[in-house]
Structure 1
Amino acid sequence: MPQTVPPQRADDPEIPLFGARTKARELAAEVTHLRAELERARLEMNRLGVLPAIELEQYRERLTREITEQTATAQAQKADLERQLRDLSQQVVVTEEAALLQEAGVYDYRHPLSDAVAYQSALAGLQAKIKSMAKGGAVLAATGWTVNGSAAEGRVMVRDFSKLLLRAYNAEADNLVRGLKPYKLDSAVERLGKVAATIAKLGKTMHIRISEDYHRLRVRELEITADYQAKLAEEKEREREEKARLREERRVQQEIDRERARLDKERQHYANALAALQAKGDVDGAAQMQERLLQIDTAIEDVDYRAANVRAGYVYVISNLGAFGEKVVKIGMTRRLDPLDRVRELSDASVPFNFDVHALFFSEDAVGIEAKMHTRLADRRVNLINQRREFFYATPQEAKEYLLELTGSLLQYDEIPEALEYRQSLTQAKERTP
């Protein structure tokens, strides 16, 4: 079918290409003209043979110099025009390739992996293969189709319909890539497969279908994008956890500093009282003050030890019956001087009920005990992806057995959670039920 040639626009790359060719023809004509002038000059010199030899030689040299300069200028302009022709030809090739890819629905857009350094090489190779197949091989179709008895018209129809279906497929693939989340990978791959199946169904008459190799490339694009998104989410989670850890450390240090200042102030108060009692000769009162000073000194030593030993702290086992059920516990550690402060913070962290404490065990190596508890319950983690989430599918009784094995003894452990607000809520809910 004949195609109508659209009128050229001012920004059409063919216009500079045409102008370059015209300039080349003008330069060639100028060189021809100079050669004719040289020939006429030679004839004139022969005619003027009567002139002195010196003047003739000067005239010849001048003409030769002008011709040389004109020739050099023409050669330089020719080289520049040839370079422009090569550049314009390359632009034409790139424009034609972009047009072919756009017909197939393949566009250059800001890919989610564009700024991912570790994935840029894989992305570049994958996109190159996708573009290559989009220009031929992405769609398979019948080759012997005819329209009105014309094989040529049949080929045009099959080609146009193939491009239309490929555009639909690529548009869906691009949308899935742009909005992909790690947990949606399986559903995205399944959806793209359904699109390919739908295209095969729509193009069944002409045997049009997306090739398996091209489909695998687009699925691979989804896979590496999901992998990057997962790593990005993990990195953000690590940053969040690190910020939380630093906040906790600051709170611990501030708490230790406040306690040390309080004890120092109290010690000074009792030291002054002791000095006054000793001055008055009150032996009994002085003995009581001395005993109190010893207690304060012991407390100061404990605070200094906690400040110096970052592994010392409390291992806690807590549960939230109303939020997570009776077979989920959280096992962690805190360096707070009052470990219940940490439990109260967790109870305020967007959970419907307060946590119940089953154990608060102080240890000089609370970090080690916590790690061993986590190792023993590793196959019972609630969150198998984020290892910093400390919830486990275990009853308080099971956690007690593991903790007892590691510590050797426990002074206190409450197996039955109080869950006061949860139980009261259940009671009120039953009373409301008619």
Structure 2
Amino acid sequence: MPQPLIAIVGRPNVGKSTLFNRLVGKKLALVDDRPGVTRDRREGEASLLGLDFRIVDTAGFETDDPQTLPGRMRAQTQAAVDEADAALFLIDSRAGVTPLDEEIALWLRNSDTPVVLMANKAEGRAGDAGVMEAYRLGLGDPIPFSAEHGEGLVDLFESLRPHIEREDEPFEEDEDEATGPLKLAIVGRPNAGKSTLVNRMLGEERMITGPEAGITRDSISIDWMWRDQPVRLIDTAGLRRRAKVEDKLERLSAADTQRAIDFAEVVVLLLDATRGLEAQDLRIASQVIEEGRALLIAVSKWDVAENAPSLFQGIRGALDDGLAQVKGLPLITVSGFTGRGVDQLLEAAFSTREAWSRRVGTGELNRWFERAIEANPPPAPGGKRIKLRYLTQARTRPPTFVLFGTRVDQLPESYRRYLVNGIRRELGFGAVPVRMNVRAPKNPFGNK
């Protein structure tokens, strides 16, 4: 499915190409103070706070005869608007609304393409009057904007989002990633049984094992099939506490393991049942979570574990206390010697990857969001109310959300955790790491 298409329109020299360059993140379009520099339609891949779309820079709208060069340029602009999912109509707020702006507005009101009105060059007091004049164009509230300085991007995001997000369409890239080979890394302290477990999964002595710690030095990637599902399995070197790592080769092995974590989708932290949960295990787990990877905990050598029920409950409690940001991590007991728990571990890995790749439609997300803030309204620090406007999912893998509102920079961390925990618990994300960023619309008159 092609990405949504957004067209930039306006009379010459109002800043269309400057806006185009800002949205694509490169200086693809020529920019000059002289009007009419842009003649042909120029397309680029744009990104705005997690919204991805195609953007079209068009020639300045002229009223000349269709057979002239300006007339042919106008025909190209009209064609771009007809093909677009929405049009960004720029006026120059410093010059105010001109007769040509009014003519363009009339044409856009009669078209079927949704229009977002932008009062560009609105930085400073010189653009205030033009912003107010723009209301008379009959295209809704103008966005005070500065394409040159990047002011007003959040308001532009809010206006474009309904035209770009298509909840009824599949997210093909996410689906492809979620059905490709499962990239599964096995990490843990030295001699936790990682290579033995890998050999049991593969059904062959693929990895060298033995009682000596640190036999595996490189991260070994192996492609195989489990129940007709492709898996890329990565066995890694053991990770000791950094202060104990003195050998240069061991430092290189640890760096290789870190790269394996970066590459993986799901990481299995393997604990040794004969040693229980140690501080280094929690450090490794925190490292995986900080990288945004989905995490499973497996306890190996369960066939020789002493007082197994008490050990399991102790590890469960210590994990929930030490990794409160992802409370409820899957905890699975396995044995590389007997094969116990191997299928359960792989089932959990595929299920966790699915949650890690999950995208929630904006409608469903904000219905939940409204219930959440109604049940527990945000606080009012210093007596000033924090107003939360809406929530959107900016990306997956890991799931990342952007919260919009006023004074959100004063939102307590405890309230962010309340929202994140609710998202994980009620919207199907389970124990995967969820990230939340906050954005406040810029007040163009705040420094007046």
TM-score after normalising by structure 2 = 0.23
**Higher Rg of the two aligned structures:** 1
Which structure carries more helix by proportion? Answer: 1
Which structure carries more strand by proportion? Answer: 2
